[in-house]
Amino acid sequence: MKISINNLNIWYENYHAIKGLTLEVAEHEILGVIGPSNSGKSSFIKALNRMNELNPRSRTTGEILLDGENLSAIDKHFLRKRVGIVFALPLPLPLSIYDNVAYGPRLHGIKERKKLTESVEKSLRAAAIWDEVKDRLDTGAFKLSGGQQQRLCIARTLAVEPEVILYDEPCSGLDPISTAKVEEAMRQLKKNYTQILVTNNVKQSARVADRTAFFLMGELVEIGATPQIFTAPRDKRTEDYITGRFG
Amino acid sequence: MDEKLKQKIAFNILLIITILIVAPVVLIFLLVLVRGLPGLSWEFLTAIPRDGMRAGGIFPAIVGTIYLTLGTAVFSIPLGILAAIYLNEYARRNALTRIIELAIINLAGVPSIVYGLFGLGLFVTFLGFGASILAGSLTLSIMTLPVIITATREALNAVPQSFREVSFSLGATRWQTVRHVVLPNAIPGILTGTILGLSRAAGETAPILFTVAAFYLPRLPQSVYDQAMVLPYHIYVLSTQVPNVSVKIQYGTVLVLIGMVFIMNILAAWLRARFRRRKVW
């Protein structure tokens, strides 16, 4: 197993955001995570690269293993290199397209221009945006459209060569065509990466994920192969949610 | 009454009040300009005072003010910016940082004459710098620190939190994030705030009264341990301590000081405008 989570609990002061989560993620799978707002989806993936620690009010118990190694034993800067994240809103840095993608590799000590350029091209290709930006790598990233910015952010995450990519509602601000392109990029990335996709869009999980997990009020209600979850959910609450009866 | 008429009256009252705020600035400037301009000449700017400061120029005082402002910049800019970075980007919120923040706020509220006496006690007497450019610069630095710290923190806070999160998410350390993402985007704000703080310091009289200002020096200061003539104090001397100084010399000196402060403020405004145009988010 790539990631094993055992009895994970997360609190924000007195608010219990994740309640005793136990879950495994296989290598090279896409795990979709669905659930209404406040179900704990975002808290869950932010725990996977310890981004939740940036919030001084959060508290975590339980264990998360990455390749059998306890997350708390891994230096968090190195961990975040291994487990990358793509945020809900496209968040380019106020730099050129090139420098956005090269930002991560530079942090980790790559200085040689040739290596950086290779890494930038490879990452932009993998995020399915190379053809759209290859002639204007020096322009500011804010000049790109929202969908392009989000794929640029994926490329930026890829450039540090992570093993796992987390997506926190990556298409919430995108139009359907941009969404389709981002989803296509995810499918392409499948052969090299383990991906976890948190999404508010139930259909997106159905389109992309191998397995889907349904969270509700901080609990994992049900997890299973995506077709099973969508055609024959075992739990009544799952069925109600995916058919749009609540949430 | 008709609603539109009411609105018109209200807006006109607001406009008049706003103009009243501008009026003192304009009046002061016009007065100084009209009375001081006849006194300005190349000699006035580049010669030393003669005839008990009733003739000649104010060159030593101009140079003294420039030295003092530079000295203040040397001490207060690094200290202020580094302290602000620490408080904003590193320090945890706890009792200690709250006490520091409170101290900074209070430092900003201390009357300037108290700084002067403090500088006299600490730098001039206790540390033995004597009345000197060094002692004056240090005293003005302490006075300017809260301004620079506050301006820097505001500039740092204006950098979106999301930029920091993105940087951390790529495995950056706190220092890498500060160095590569936060600072480059905060520099414009830091610069303008710093220059405004320094321009305040350049015009202060009380803090330099006992720490550096010389009544009359026929030469330029030779080292940082020298006393210096400085414009604000020189104005005080010309207007109260020396009889029969011509109005054009008095106002000419004021005009030069205002001009120097003005140039710094315009520089700050220009920098801000320039960076704002380049801002991409």
In a domain, B130, yes or no: yes
Task: Output the pLDDT for position A198.
Answer: 95
**Do residues A160 and B171 touch, judged by C-beta distance below 8 A?**
yes
Tens of pLDDT, residue by residue over B71-92, are 999 999 999 999 999 999 999 8
Asked if A57 reaches chain B (Cβ–Cβ under 8 Å), the answer is no
Domain span holding position B186:
59-278
Instruction: Collect contacts of B112-117 with beta carbons under 8 A, ≥24 apart.
Output: B112/B143, B112/B204, B112/B205, B112/B206, B112/B207, B113/B206, B113/B207, B113/B209, B115/B139, B115/B140, B115/B142, B115/B143, B115/B206, B115/B207, B116/B206, B116/B207, B116/B208, B116/B209, B116/B210, B116/B211, B117/B210
The verdict on A225 touching B (C-beta cutoff 8 Å) is no
Alpha-carbon distance of A199 to A166, in angstroms, equals: 11
Domain of A201, CATH number, reads 3.40.50.300
In this prediction, residues B36-55 reach a mean pLDDT of 89
Per-residue confidence (pLDDT) for residue A205, from 0 to 100: 93
Q: Is the model's pLDDT at A181 over the cut of 90?
A: no
* Residue B77 to residue B61: CA distance in whole angstroms: 23
pTM of the model: 0.84
The distance of A138 to chain B (nearest Cα, Å) reads: 14
CB A175 within 8 A of CB A147: yes
Predicted ipTM? 0.89
**Nearest neighbour of B171 by CB, restricted to A54, A81, A153:** A81
Q: Number of folded domains in chain A?
A: 1
Residue B48 lies in a domain: no
- Which letter, b or e, does each residue of B159-189 get, where b requires 16 or more Cβ atoms within 10 Å of its Cβ? beeebbbbbbbbbbeeebbbebbbbebbebb
- Asked if the model's pLDDT at residue A60 lies above 80, the reply is yes
Q: Shortest Cα distance from B195 to chain A (angstroms)? A: 25
> What are the chain B neighbours of A81 within 8 Å (beta carbons)?
170-171
A54: confidence class by pLDDT, cuts 50, 70, 90: confident
In chain A, residues with a C-beta closer than 8 Å to the C-beta of B170 are 80-81, 84, 103-104, 107, 156-157, 160
- A43-82 b/e with 16+ CB inside 10 Å = b? bbbbbbbbbbeeeeebebeeebbbeeeebeebebbebbbb
Distance CA(A52)–CA(A62), nearest Å, equals 14
Contact state of B162 with A87 under an 8 Å Cβ cutoff: yes
CB contact under 8 A, A77 and B171: yes
Q: Residue B1 falls within a domain, yes or no?
A: no
pLDDT at B173 over 90: yes
| Chain A stretch 119-178, residues whose beta carbon is closer than 8 A to a beta carbon of chain B | 140, 142, 153, 156-157, 160
- The alpha-carbon gap from A244 to the nearest alpha carbon of chain B, in Å, equals 32
Report chain B residues whose CB lies below 8 A from the CB of A77: 171-173
Structure-block tokens of residue A213: 């997990």
Whether A247 maps to a domain, the answer reads no
pLDDT score recorded for residue B52: 84
Q: Indicate the pLDDT class of residue A246, thresholds 50, 70 and 90.
A: low
Q: Which of B169, B173, B177, B183 to mutate to test the interface with A (most CBs of A within 10 A)?
A: B169
The pLDDT, as a whole number, for residue B281 is: 54
Residue in B closest to A89 by C-alpha: B162
Instruction: Name the one residue in this structure whose structure tokens are 């995810």.
Output: A186
- How do residues A101-128 score in pLDDT, each as one tens digit? 999 999 999 999 999 999 999 999 988 8
- Alpha carbon distance A121, A113 (integer Å): 12
User: Do A87 and B165 lie within an 8 Å CB cutoff?
Assistant: yes
Q: Inter-chain contact A91–B171, Cβ cutoff 8 Å? A: no
Q: Which residues of B26-65 are buried (b: 16+ CB within 10 A; e: fewer)?
A: eeeeeebeebbeebbeeebeeebbeeebeebbbbbbbbbb
| More confidently predicted of A147 and B135 | B135
Report yes or no: A54 at the B interface, CB cutoff 8 Å. Answer: yes
A156 to chain B: which residues are within 8 Å by CB?
170
Q: Closest partner residue to B162 among A79, A91, A142, by Cβ?
A: A91
With respect to residue A79, please indicate whether it lies within any of the assigned structural domains: yes
Q: Which residues contact A150 (CB under 8 A, 6 or more apart)?
A: A86, A90, A170, A171, A173, A174, A178, A182
Whether residue B168 lies inside any domain: the answer is yes
Q: Is the pLDDT of residue A37 over 80?
A: yes
Residue of chain A with shortest Cα separation from B162: A91
Mean pLDDT of chain B: 92
For residues A27 and A192, give the distance between their C-alpha atoms in angstroms, rounded to a whole number: 9
**Under DSSP, is residue B123 helix (H, G, I), strand (E, B) or coil?**
helix
CATH number at residue B206: 1.10.3720.10
- Residue A205 CA: distances (Å) to CA of A38, A154, A175: 18, 18, 16
Residue B119 maps to a domain: yes
pLDDT of residue B103: 93
What does the pLDDT read at residue B164?
94
Q: Let me know if residue B18 belongs to a domain.
A: no
Judge whether A85 is closer than 8 Å to chain B, CB to CB.
yes
For residue A10, is pLDDT > 90?
Answer: yes
**pLDDT for residue A147 is more than 80:** yes
B185 touches chain A (CB under 8 A): yes
φ, ψ of residue B110 in degrees (nearest 5): -70, 130
CB atoms A93 and B166 under 8 Å: yes
% of residues, chain B, pLDDT over 90: 77
* pLDDT above 70 for B280: no
Tell me the residue range of the domain where A163 lies.
Answer: 3-242
Tell me whether residue B4 is in a domain: no
User: Are the beta carbons of A166 and A71 closer than 8 angstroms?
Assistant: no
User: In the prediction, which pLDDT does B159 show?
Assistant: 93
Cα separation, A124 vs A154, whole angstroms: 8
Q: Does A68 touch chain B (CB under 8 A)?
A: no
**Tell me, what's the pLDDT at B279?**
62
Is B281 an interface residue toward A (CB < 8 Å)? yes
For chain B, how many structural domains are there in total? 1
Bridge partners (DSSP) listed for residue A96: A140
In a domain, A117, yes or no: yes
